[in-house]
Chain A
């Protein structure tokens, strides 16, 4: 292997390792802050006593509940959602060959929002009526299922059209934008028709909130996390897209199939996270670009690095969202964009070179 390339690889491993261990530090801080005052020691004693029950000395039941059932799922949720959305963003940029692409540019946020509004305002999700038979589902579950199904509907529309018209990346972006507008219009109409109370719920949902994450939701999000290693494994195939579909095909990549599979995976990852926590934007666009600055454009590293950057960013944003105006908790989506925007601009200005052309 060339010396120059080994140097590049070492640099990448360094950044990825750092990004991997950073959340553990952030996790510590994040678990410690909150309206209930708990000391560092207390928090760790609670966690240790849970992991190693034989150490379980007298921990306060209330504190234990706060740490294990309120804070821990929330911070783990931040890590998972950040990682999944960021990896999905990196992959959409690769397959669409577009630095502006993200799951949200292909209409997924609008689709999820529409699904959620439908459930909240009409109280009638797609799943609630089947064969004239009403299923009783809890309201929250209905919102989740609706948002999820609408996201996957998006992927269905895009992949069917790609199958018929050919998988041109620009076509896909335009399609996504059109689908996005369509669903946004649907959401607007829903909001126009909705009652004030329901409207507030929709707006709250749209803001995105990690506080909704419970252990059960974390479990349901795990399939989305498992997609990340698959994407890392096909990183080299994603690299082939970079030089155009013709070169990719000449290198033995089935361009159309891989692009469609990736679109479906991106939709799934996005659906499986934002359905639970609401629309948390920007992370899927910004995290891959920060990762590009750190590890370059080789997708084998980029997808993983993006996921780690996303996890760190969302965890940090959520910690700030919970503390800056405590005891009030700001919506994490807004905080991410608020802090991420200027930070991103700073990186763009400071970066030695452009990582796209």
Chain B
């Protein structure tokens, strides 16, 4: 079965301002792609186009060969899961309810046995079982992020999109979250895109890295090929060293 996500010649603009220009990208099932680039380079916009929050101006997005623009919102939601950067949760719910919400694309009025089982599985694999009845606003930022990732996993979508999932987390949880996403991507063979600011995390966890700058795809490939001193100077406009440590390149600022 073809589980890949294929984005071809995607363009988007907000009014007169071009945000994405002819972006093409392919992510295979089980593969983790880190999307890096400076602020305003179009990373979030790209993810929002894929999930269907924004309507692209041109271009095609296909999952397993199926054109997403031909699907209903619900059918699309069964294929693509998404975690935005900001979650304006006003009315806190329990961990269980939060994760159960991820099952929404597969039921109408009330969740069934299969939905509860899916939530249970995710709770177990993320060691959240003990937290099931805890209110989400009573948890730390790191634990909360785990719950939101669990929600995306419970959706059991073929494509998973994460917009800066490590922002505002301490070191331990940054690694924890990246580890979690990579593991889930492998297990479910889901094509995964993570928009990231931290290039070292991209080096450590991504199978491939794509660099966006000013709405255009600058380069794309294996982390050690893409993340070079020249690229960082050119794209981020800062001086940085890329050194080899423990067999992998690391960026020193």
Interface-central residue, A249, A296, A355, by most chain B CB under 10 Å:
A249
Which A4-19 residues sit within 8 Å CB-CB of chain B? 4-5, 7-8
Q: Does B171 make an interface contact (CB < 8 A)?
A: no
Of the listed stretches A47-55, A192-200, A234-242, chain B binds A234-242
Given A7-B133, A242-B90, A243-B87, 4 more A-B residue pairs with CB atoms under 8 Å apart are A4-B132, A234-B109, A254-B73, A296-B97
B73 A242 Cβ-Cβ under 8 A = no
Q: Does B173 make an interface contact (CB < 8 A)?
A: no
Chain A, residue nearest B82 (CB): A250
A251 B104 Cβ-Cβ under 8 A = yes
Q: Does A252 make an interface contact (CB < 8 A)?
A: yes
Closest 4 CB pairs of A and B: A252-B77, A4-B133, A252-B74, A250-B82
Chain B, residue nearest A236 (CB): B104
Chain B, residue nearest A96 (CB): B90
Specify which chain B residues have a CB less than 8 angstroms from the CB of A5 in the assembled complex. Answer: 94, 96-97, 116, 132-133
Specify which chain B residues have a CB less than 8 angstroms from the CB of A242 in the assembled complex. Answer: 89-91, 93
A97 B90 Cβ-Cβ under 8 A = yes
A353 B110 Cβ-Cβ under 8 A = no
Complex CA gap A357/B88 in Å reads 9
Specify which chain A residues have a CB less than 8 angstroms from the CB of B142 in the assembled complex. Answer: none
* A249 with B93, Cβ < 8 A, contacts A237-B104, A240-B104 known: no
25 A-B pairs (CB sep. < 8 Å)? A2-B123, A2-B129, A4-B94, A4-B96, A5-B132, A7-B133, A8-B96, A99-B90, A236-B104, A236-B110, A242-B90, A243-B89, A244-B87, A245-B53, A246-B84, A249-B73, A251-B104, A254-B73, A292-B91, A296-B94, A297-B93, A298-B93, A355-B91, A355-B92, A356-B91
Specify which chain A residues have a CB less than 8 angstroms from the CB of B81 in the assembled complex. Answer: 250
**B interface residues, tally (CB under 8 Å):** 47
* A236 with B109, Cβ < 8 A, contacts A242-B90, A298-B93, A357-B92 known: yes
Q: Does B214 make an interface contact (CB < 8 A)?
A: no
Specify which chain A residues have a CB less than 8 angstroms from the CB of B190 in the assembled complex. Answer: none
Nearest chain A CB to B46 CB, angstrom units:
14
Instruction: Write out, one digit per residue, whether chain B residues 90-113 have a CB within 8 A of any chain A CB (1) or not (0).
Output: 111110111001101101011100
Complex CA gap A30/B169 in Å reads 57
Q: Does A233 make an interface contact (CB < 8 A)?
A: yes
Interface-central residue, A99, A243, A354, by most chain B CB under 10 Å:
A243
Instruction: Write out, one digit per residue, whether chain A residues 246-259 have a CB within 8 A of any chain B CB (1) or not (0).
Output: 11011111100000
A251 B109 Cβ-Cβ under 8 A = no
Specify which chain B residues have a CB less than 8 angstroms from the CB of A7 in the assembled complex. Answer: 133
Instruction: Write out, one digit per residue, whether chain B residues 57-89 have a CB within 8 A of any chain A CB (1) or not (0).
Output: 000000000000000111111101111101111
Nearest chain B CB to A173 CB, angstrom units:
12
A297 B51 Cβ-Cβ under 8 A = no
B132 A2 Cβ-Cβ under 8 A = yes
Q: Does A1 make an interface contact (CB < 8 A)?
A: yes
Specify which chain A residues have a CB less than 8 angstroms from the CB of B80 in the assembled complex. Answer: 250
Complex CA gap A245/B133 in Å reads 25
Complex CA gap A247/B75 in Å reads 15
A356 B92 Cβ-Cβ under 8 A = yes
* A298 with B129, Cβ < 8 A, contacts A240-B104, A246-B53, A254-B73 known: no
